[in-house]
Structures are given as C-alpha cells and as structure tokens.
Structure 1
Amino acid sequence: MNESVSIISLIANASIVVQLVMLMLVAASVISWVVIVQRTRLLSASRAQTLEFEERFWSGVDLNDLYRECQQNPLPSAVENVFMAGLKEFGKMRQQNTNDPDAVMAGVQRAMRVAITRESELLDTHLPFLATVGSTSPYVGLFGTVWGIMHSFQGLASVKQATIATVAPGISEALVATAMGLLAAIPAVIFYNRFASRVDQQVTAMHTFADEFSSLLYRQAHKIHQAAKAEAARKSAES
C-alpha cells in the first residue's frame, strides 16, 4: 500500500513535462491492449473460419453451391473472399467465350492475388501501431527520465547542502517514466511479433489455397477447351 501511495505521490509531484510523458505512455499502453485483444479475436476467428471453409471445399460440394453460401455469409472469411474472387473471374472469362485455358487462368490468378493483397492489408491493420509503440515507448520514457533528472538537479541550485534525501525523490519520479515506457513497450513488441507470425501463416494458407484452386479450375478449363475443340471438329466434319 505504501509503495502504491509513494508511486502516486511521485507521479503527482513530477514536473509537467514528465507528467505529460507518463500520460502519453499510459494512453499508448491502453490503446495497445485494446488492439491486442481485438487482433487476438480476429486472427483466431479467421484461422477457425479458414479451416472450416477448407473442410467444406474439399468435401466434394458443388462449387456454385459453395459460392452462393459464401455470398450469403454477412462476414465472409479471408479465404472465402479469395475463393469468390477466383470463381467469379472464372465465370466472367467463360461468359466471354475465352476457351484458352492459359488466358482463363491468368485472369483467375490475377483476381485471387488482388483478393489476397486486400485480405493481407486487413489482417495487418493496427499492427504498425504496436510496432511503433514497441520501438518508441522506451525512448519516450527515457526522455521523461532525462527531463526529470535535469529538473531535479536544477532544484539543487537553491539548496545549500545537497544530500541523498534531497536528490532521491526527483530521480525516483524521473525513473518512473522509464518504467512506464518499458511497461508499454514490452507487451507491444511481444504481441506484434506473435501477430506478424500468425498473419504470415494466414497469407501462406491463402496462397496455398489459391494454388490448389487454380489447379482445379485449370483442369476444368482444359476440359471445356477440349470439348469446344471436339464440338468444332464435329461441326466442321458435318459441313
């Protein structure tokens, strides 16, 4: 209890500049924890949705039925958006009577790459803030400490005899800023690295799915191309 009271009194007796530094660090820490909780929920839900969708995708369900299910989902997952982008582009290319499988797949892969890029940006949202807090908070706290020590030493000019008891309170209140900077920075760095790794895993999973889906669509496009060639040859032979 005495320690908490002493820390509160140190903060209350600190200079205005040091108090502003502490206020900034507290605000950065609070916002960081809000981001941490929000990103934890989002990335966990995204991972679960990806596994659930891939299970449905490889269960042999009709792709058109799966596409309609994804459209009806108010909050489709990242991999679902990649799937819908690829299948939508595949349907457009077929409507344009593009029978070249390579041309069809070029359009499909381009559409899925764009979708993956958009989903990656959404997954990366707010992560730069954590990186900024993790990298700058110690320096902001150090600035408050240096300023507090300068203020403490300036106060010694009016004292005839300087003792440890005279200097200690000013240095103690200055060091609180460094401690607060570290308390803000350490969780931000830890969770930033964790989230960056999980985002990379999600992006890799989307790229893997896009490659597998491309192979499936390429086989289908090749069958359509072969059927069109056979039909054209049959009509040519009949004429």
Structure 2
Amino acid sequence: MSDASAVSAALSHSLTPVELFLQADSIVKTVIVLLILASAWGWTVIAEKLIRLGVLHRRAARLIDSVQKELPVADLPASFDAASPEDPLVQVYRAMVDENARSSDLQHSETQRDALQERVHRVGQLAAANAIDHLHARLQGLATIGAVAPFVGLFGTVWGIMNSFQGIAASNNTSLAVVAPGIAEALFATALGLVAAIPAVIFYNRISGDIGAYGKRLNSFIGVFEVELSRQLSRKGDRNGLRAA
C-alpha cells in the first residue's frame, strides 16, 4: 500500500463523528455534548409546539363553526363545554360568559350596559393574553439556541485549532495525517453549532407566526362575542323601555 493510500485510510477511519468526539480534548468534548443536548432540547420544543398549535388551530375552527349561526353569551354551548378546559378558546369564552353572568343583575341602564361590555372585553383580552403567554413558554429557549449555539461551536473550533497548532509544533510535522484530525475535530464543533442553531431560528420564526395567527383568531372571537353581547343587551334594553312605558 502506498503512503498516500495509507494516509487516506487513516483519515477515513479517524474523521467519523464518533472518532472525532473520542479524539477531542475535554473542552471540545464538553462543547460538543452541550450542543447535542441543546439541539435535542430544541427539537423537543419544536415538535411539542408544532403539534399543539396544529391541534389548537383545528379545534378552534371546529368550535367556531359550531357556534357560527348562534353565539350564546349567557352560557357555554355544548361543543365548548365538552372541549378541553385547557383550550385557550374555551378559556376565553368561559371568562367572558362568567363575567356576563356575574353582572346580570346590573344590566339596567345604558351606562351599566356599556360598562358591562367594557368589562367583558377586558376579561376576554386578559384571558387571551394569558393563553398566548403559555403558548410562548420555552419559545425563548429556541431564540437563545439560535443566537448562542454558533458562537459556542466557534469557541470549540478555536480551542481545537489551538490544540492542533500545539500538536504540530510539538511533533514538528505538518503532514496531512497529523494536521487533518485536529482541524476536523475543531470544525466538527462549528458544524454542530450550526446544526443546533439553524432549525432553532427557522422554527422559532414559524412557531411565533403560528402563535400570532392564533392570537388574532382569539381577538376576532372576542370581537364577535362583544358584538353579539351588545345586540342582546340592546334588545333587553328595548324590552325594559317598553315595559317602563
């Protein structure tokens, strides 16, 4: 076997990811482990958020369709009452219905009706904001991974290259067989940093957009509820006026 063939065989053996990890020093190994853990955690968050948001969007479409013709404001319809109490749309609807029920004995004058609509609006907005905050939970971790992981990988690369140069100086040999493994170990850390960061950035933007779209759906539902509540309060006010006359 020629010297070139021997060097090629040695490199093909030593440049596998497992071998690169095993040959790296403790600092580079720590960087690699941290990046792998960050990537695994990021993919867990991504999967959980995508599945949950997909379920919420489909369920919201179903629930809104179930009350499209008639939107009760005094109690929850059967479709909402049977849905998961953890669903944000159900929480918003229940909060507004409960506020309307607690204020039922105050619906006499026009001023009180206006105050009721304002309270229902605020209660709905608070419930929606609380639900959106829960959906954003752990999402900042993805942003952190996307921003920090490349620099952590770069640190591992710089440290590994420094060790490679020290090895070259100690051996006084600059052949490819001596230089390549150390450089490959260093670049492996950068590659892992990008592998962790790129999906985190992509899915952070996508998930943030999905949450924003769901938040708009909640706000639209609050608006529809307020319109229906105003209509029913106006009818009640008209009936009270007729009785008074």
TM-score, length basis structure 1: 0.89
Structure 1 match to 2:185:
173
Question: Structure 1 pair 3/87, CA: closer, same or farther in 2 (3 Å)?
Answer: farther
**Is 1:57 aligned with 2:67?**
yes
- For the residue of structure 2 that corresponds to 1:58, the secondary structure is coil
**Is 1:127 aligned with 2:139?**
yes
How far is the alpha carbon of 1:131 from its aligned partner?
Answer: 1.1
Question: Structure 1 pair 3/167, CA: closer, same or farther in 2 (3 Å)?
Answer: closer
Structure 1's unaligned 5+ residue stretches are 235-239
Per-residue CA distance 1:18-60 (angstroms, 9 max, x = gap): 0000000000111111111111110000001110111011133
Equivalent residue letter for 2:124: M
CA contact (8 A) 2:60 2:89 kept: yes
Give the number of equivalent residue pairs. Answer: 232
Take 2:14 and 2:90, find their aligned partners in 1: how far apart are those partners? 51
How far is the alpha carbon of 1:158 from its aligned partner?
Answer: 1.6
How far is the alpha carbon of 1:223 from its aligned partner?
Answer: 2.0
How far is the alpha carbon of 1:10 from its aligned partner?
Answer: 1.4
Structure 2 match to 1:224:
236
Per-residue CA distance 1:177-229 (angstroms, 9 max, x = gap): 00011111111111111111111100011111111111110111122223333
How far is the alpha carbon of 1:90 from its aligned partner?
Answer: 1.2
- For the residue of structure 2 that corresponds to 1:158, the secondary structure is helix
Question: Structure 1 pair 219/61, CA: closer, same or farther in 2 (3 Å)?
Answer: closer
Structure 1 match to 2:206:
194
TM-score, length basis structure 2: 0.87
| Identity among equivalent pairs (%) | 33
Equivalent residue letter for 1:87: V
Per-residue CA distance 1:90-123 (angstroms, 9 max, x = gap): 1112234453221110100010010110111122
Take 2:207 and 2:18, find their aligned partners in 1: how far apart are those partners? 34
How far is the alpha carbon of 1:5 from its aligned partner?
Answer: 6.6
1:1-239 alignment, distance < 5 Å: 6-60=16-70, 62-64=72-74, 66-67=76-77, 69-97=79-107, 99=109, 100-231=112-243, 233-234=244-245
Question: Structure 1 pair 4/205, CA: closer, same or farther in 2 (3 Å)?
Answer: farther
Runs of 4+ in 1 over 4 A off after TM superposition: 2-5, 61-65
Take 1:4 and 1:226, find their aligned partners in 2: how far apart are those partners? 86
Equivalent residue letter for 1:23: V
Aligned alpha-carbon RMSD (Å): 2.1
